[in-house]
A and B are shown apart, each in its own frame.
Chain A
Amino acid sequence: GQQVQQSPASLVLQEGENAELQCNFSSTATRLQWFYQHPGGRLVSLFYNPSGTKHTGRLTSTTVTNERRSSLHISSSQTTDSGTYFCAIERSSSFSKLVFGQGTSLSVVP
């Protein structure tokens, strides 16, 4: 079955609104990472966050390991935030093998 599930699948925001993206995973994860994919295709790492809360700029990631969930909060969204956000886990038994969710496609309109 699906090991990493993200919700929502897509989201449209008005510029300035906040967003909360969810990631639930079914297997034990030793690592969890959030990625952002530009509309042009390049994937960049946002957070490595296996547990707890991390902030960078307008982004906050919170992972509750024993509940097997993580969230990515985007505050005061901007049109440049548009793109696809992926959650990925590394399974405890598989060194360096990331398993990706399906992604959340975010569109921020002016």
Chain B
Amino acid sequence: GGIITQTPKFLIGQEGQKLTLKCQQNFNHDTMYWYRQDSGKGLRLIYYSITENDLQKGDLSEGYDASREKKSSFSLTVTSAQKNEMAVFLCASSNWVSSYEQYFGPGTRLTVL
């Protein structure tokens, strides 16, 4: 078994601030993902990384940067926090071969004041 951890669990920032969310997995998975979930809505893909040193934009990448520091970790940066970005950010990982089986972390809840 394995686990995905996300830090912090809650993140409060000021409008215009640069904020970083972190994700770690110990599944030894190749692929990692960042999703955003707005209240009452489904998940939307922000960035993903197929393997270490790879970075791919999702459907919602504008206003975000991502970094795959090593195989087990994937960070997401909100470049300039906006009030309409109050949402939950979910990290996931999957195997290269069975990419459909994505495992999710508990999420980081972002509040922008």
* Chain A residues within 8 Å of B, Cβ to Cβ: 4, 31, 33, 35, 40-45, 48, 86, 88, 90, 95-98, 100-103, 105
Contacts and interface: CB of A to CB of B under 8 A. Distances in A.
Interface residues of B, number: 26
B75 interface: no
Interface string B91-113: 01010000111111111010000
B99 A96 contact: yes
B42 A43 contact: no
Given A42-B104, A43-B90, A96-B31, A102 B41 contact: yes
Contact of B107 (A41, A95, A103): A41
Given A41-B106, A42-B107, A31 B43 contact: no
Given A43-B92, A45-B101, A105-B40, 13 more contacts: A41-B106, A41-B107, A43-B90, A43-B104, A45-B102, A48-B100, A86-B42, A90-B100, A96-B31, A96-B94, A100-B44, A102-B40, A102-B42
B88 interface: yes
Contacts, number: 58
B19 interface: no
Contacts of B45: 97-98
B104 A103 contact: no
Contact of B48 (A33, A42, A97, A103): A97
Contacts of B58: 97
Contact of B43 (A45, A48, A100, A105): A100
B101 A48 contact: yes
B108 to A, nearest CB: 10
B66 to A, nearest CB: 15
Contacts of B50: 95-96
Contacts of B88: 41
B56 to A, nearest CB: 9
Interface string B6-29: 000000000000000000000000
Report, nearest first, the 3 A-B pairs whose CB atoms are least far apart.
A100-B42, A96-B99, A43-B104
